[in-house]
Structure 1
Amino acid sequence: MPRIAVVGAGPAGTSFVLHALRAGVDPSDLVLLDRARFPRPKLCGGALTWRGTELIREIAPELVPHERARMETTHLRFRCDLGDFEVREGGGQWLYDRAHLDARLLELVRDAGVEVREGTAIKGVEAGTDSVQVRTRGTERFDWVVGADGARGVVARSVGLAPGIVGRLVEAVYEPTDADPNPRELIFDFDPIRDGIPGYAWIFPYPKPEVAGQANTGTHAGLYKLGIMDGRGVAAGEDLRAWTDAFAERNGYRRVDTKLAGWPEHYYSHRTRAHVPGVLLTGEAWGIDPLLGEGIAPSIEISRYAAGRLKEALDAGVRTIPRYEKTFRKTEPGQNLRFQERLADLLYGKSPDRWLKVLFSHRRMLELAAAGTEAYGRLEKHTWMLTRSYAWQLLTGNL
C-alpha cells in the first residue's frame, strides 16, 4: 500500500517522484494523483530557460533536446520605452508544448513502477496525528501527502498553509500582420509597468509542430503566443485582456484564438509556510519565480530539495521536517528565489519607474546579461558586485 500521496502530476509532482526514487524511496511507496487525464491542455508560454532545460536533462536526459514538440531560441530580449537589451545564457532556451512535455514526464514516472491515478480529483486533505486523510471519491490514509497541485492547490488550502502573492496571466495565439518577428528570441516587454500593471508582456514563438509547422524547427510558421503577467494580481482580467490585444495591435499582430485564456500564478515568498506534520508543499504550491513567473526550473529545484528532506524523515520515522522552509532558504535555489523576490518587490513595488530605469541602465547588469555565461534566475551570487556598481553609478551621476 502506498505511503506517500503526491497530488499534482505536472513537472513539480513528476520531478518530486523521480528525485524521491533517486533518493531511495521504493516505487511501491508512492502514488501520483491528478484530476486531469494526460496529455491535457496547459496554459503556459512554453519557454524553458537554459537552466530549466538542464534541470529536465538531469531527470530525463532522453527528453532534452530530442523531443519533437520543441524549438530552440538563442536569447531573451528585455525591452520597454527606455530601450532594450539581450540576455544571453550559457545555452539556448527550448520551447515546448507543455501538454506533450508534461505527459512524457508522467510516462517516465509510470515506467519507473509508480502508481499513477489520472482523473482523480482531490476534494480535501486532513492531517491527523499519525496519518493524513485524502478525500477523493472515497477516503484513503497516507503517512505523507505532497502538495504539487499548483497556485490554488487543494492540499495547501485544506491544511491551512496560506499562499503568498498570487498573480494573474492571460495569453492567446497571434499571427503577425505588420510585424517581422525573430523566431529565435523570447521578448519580455516591461511596458505594462508604465500603464500601472506590475508585470511584463511577452512575445514567444508557438511550439506546436504536431498540429502544423516545420518539423525541423518545431514551431508553427508565423504563429506566436502573446500575453501579460500581472505580478501582484491587482488588475482585472478584462483589463489584462484588453491591454494584451492593444499590445498585439501596436506590435503588428492579430489574434487567431477566439479568446484570451487566463490563469493564476503563485509566487515564492521567504515568508510562506510550506509544511505541517505529514504534509509538505513543492513547486508552485510553494511558489515560483516572483519576477518573471518562471515555473519549471524553480519547481524542479524545490522538488529535488523536498524529496531529499522527505527521505530523511522516512528514514528517521518522523512526521515533521525540522526547519523545512528555513533550510531551503539557505540552499542555492532558495537564495536565488529570494534574490528574485527582492527584485520583484522593487520593480513591482512603490517606485516601479525608478527601478525600471535602473534595470535598463545598470552597467554591470547589462554586462552580465550580454556575457553568455550566466543563467536567468541565478544571479544572487553577484549581489554584492551589483549593489556596489549601482552605488557607484549613483555617486557619479550616471544613473
Structure 2
Amino acid sequence: MNYESDVAIVGAGPAGSTAAYVLAKLGLNVIIIDKSSFPREKLCGGLLSSKSVRLLEKIFDETEESLNKKIINFSSNIFQVMFKEKTLAKYYSKTPTYFVERTVYDNFLLDKAISSGATFIQNETVKKVDLDSNALFTSKGNKIISKYIVGADGANSIVRKEFENNGIICKDIWRNSLGITLEISIDKKKLPIEKNIICLYFGYIKNGYAWIFPNMDKSIIGIGGLLKDINNDNINDMFIDFLISLGFDKKTIDSFIKKIRGHPIPFGNYIEKPIYKKTILIGDAAGFVNPITGEGIYYAHKSAEIAANAILKDYINQGKLEEDYINNLNLFLLPELFNSKKSRNLYFKIFNNYYLAKIASFYMFKNTKYY
C-alpha cells in the first residue's frame, strides 16, 4: 500500500508527537509511524525541568495545573549531591523539578497529535529511507511518500543512519560522543534511603554520574556516561557497586538483574546541520541532549517546534527550509549544548574527585537554602 502526506514523521516519542501536533493543527497532512504499539513501555528517568513545563504550556495550550492532573507524576524541590556515600550538598530549590512516567507522557502527546488530525501508523518499522524522493519503505511492504520527512526516531535513528550512508554526517563523530545508561524502576518502598528527593551521585563512572529520581510510587535508579570511557563488560559492575552502596542486599540486587534496561543516549554528539534537502532530524536523532546532565525531553520538544515552524514556512513559501531551521537552532538551542559540551570534561573531572567536588559544591550552592 502507498500512503501520501505532506509530512512523514518517523518516531512517536516526544519529539515526533510534538512536530506532528504543531503541523497537523495548522492543517498539514501528517503521518507518524512508529515500530511500537502505543501505549508502550518506556523506562526513562522522566525528569521534566521547569523550562520543559513552560514549553509544554506554550506548545500544547496547557497550564501547569492541567499538566499536573494529566501527566506529572511527582515533583520535588530537594536536591542531594553526593560523592559516592558522602554528601556534598543537600539543598532546597525554589523551582520544583517534575517527573513523568514515560508510558503515560508519550501516549498523552501522541493523543494530542492524533486529535489534531495526524494519522498514526503503529507497530510498523521503517526499513529504508530515500532522502532524494522523500520516501519511506516499511517492514510491512508499505511505502510512504511525502513532501517532508522528519526523523524523530531516537539515538538509533534509521533516518540519521541514511544521512551517514550518504556521507552527509560522520558516523565516527557521532559514536565518539555517544553515551550509555542503565536504569531500573523499583517500588519506592524498597528504597533503603530517603525516598522523595532528587539524588545525583559522582565517583562511580568517569564522564557521567548515577542518580535516583523519585516518582509517585516508584524510584528510577540509573547510571550513565560516555561510551568510549566505559568498558561494556563492566558498566553492569559499576551499576551493581552503586546499588550496593545504597544499601541493597545481594538477594535484592539479584532480583533486580533481569529488570535492568540499557539504552544509548546522545551525550555531546549533537549535529550542527541536521537537515538534507527536505529531511530534518530532531530530538535524540539529531543528538539534542544536554552533554552534562543528559536531559533530552526539553530539547526534543524545542527542536520539534523549531522544525515544525521551518516546515510550515517552507510549505507556504518554498526555498528557505534549511536556512530557517539552522538559524533558529543556532538562536534557541545549539549555544546551550555547545557551552555544556565545552565545560563537560572539566565538570566531571572536578565532581569525580572528592576534594575538588567538595570545594566546587561550596561555591556552587553557597547562596542556596540548605535542607
TM-score calculated relative to the size of structure 2: 0.83
Matched-pair contact (CA < 8 Å) for 1:162–1:273: no
Matched-pair contact (CA < 8 Å) for 1:150–1:266: no
Q: Does 1:102 align with 2:71?
A: no
Shift of 1:15: 1.3
Shift of 1:358: 5.9
Correspondences of 1:337-376 after superposition (within 5 Å): 337-348=337-348, 353=352, 357=356, 360-361=359-360, 365-367=364-366, 370=368
The residue aligned with 1:53 is: 53
The residue aligned with 1:388 is: none
Unaligned runs of 5+ in 1: 208-217, 373-399
Q: Which amino acid aligns with 1:73?
A: S
Shift of 1:328: 1.3
C-alpha change, 1:98 and 1:353, in structure 2 (3 Å) is closer
C-alpha change, 1:89 and 1:6, in structure 2 (3 Å) is farther
Name the Cα RMSD after superposition: 2.9
The residue aligned with 1:309 is: 310
TM-score calculated relative to the size of structure 1: 0.78
After superposing the two structures, state which structure 1 stretch, 150-159 or 265-274, moved more: 265-274
Correspondences of 1:188-199 after superposition (within 5 Å): 188-193=200-205, 197-199=206-208
Q: Which amino acid aligns with 1:361?
A: A
Q: Percent identity?
A: 20
Matched-pair contact (CA < 8 Å) for 2:24–2:30: no
Shift of 1:86: 4.0
C-alpha change, 1:371 and 1:21, in structure 2 (3 Å) is farther
The residue aligned with 1:35 is: 35
- Distance in 1 of aligned mates of 2:152 and 2:359: 36
The residue aligned with 1:214 is: none
C-alpha change, 1:360 and 1:114, in structure 2 (3 Å) is farther
SS in structure 2 of the partner of residue 66 of structure 1: helix
C-alpha change, 1:322 and 1:182, in structure 2 (3 Å) is same
Correspondences of 1:177-216 after superposition (within 5 Å): 180-193=192-205, 197-205=206-214, 207=215
Shift of 1:174: 4.3
C-alpha change, 1:178 and 1:15, in structure 2 (3 Å) is closer
The residue aligned with 2:217 is: 219
- Distance in 2 of aligned mates of 1:352 and 1:249: 21
C-alpha change, 1:262 and 1:246, in structure 2 (3 Å) is same
Shift of 1:102: 0.5
Aligned length: 347
The residue aligned with 1:143 is: 147
Q: Does 1:111 align with 2:111?
A: no
- Distance in 2 of aligned mates of 1:49 and 1:182: 21
- Distance in 2 of aligned mates of 1:359 and 1:307: 44
Matched-pair contact (CA < 8 Å) for 2:310–2:321: no
C-alpha change, 1:286 and 1:371, in structure 2 (3 Å) is farther
Q: Which amino acid aligns with 2:242?
A: F
- Distance in 2 of aligned mates of 1:267 and 1:365: 23
Greater strand percent: which structure?
2
C-alpha change, 1:153 and 1:90, in structure 2 (3 Å) is farther
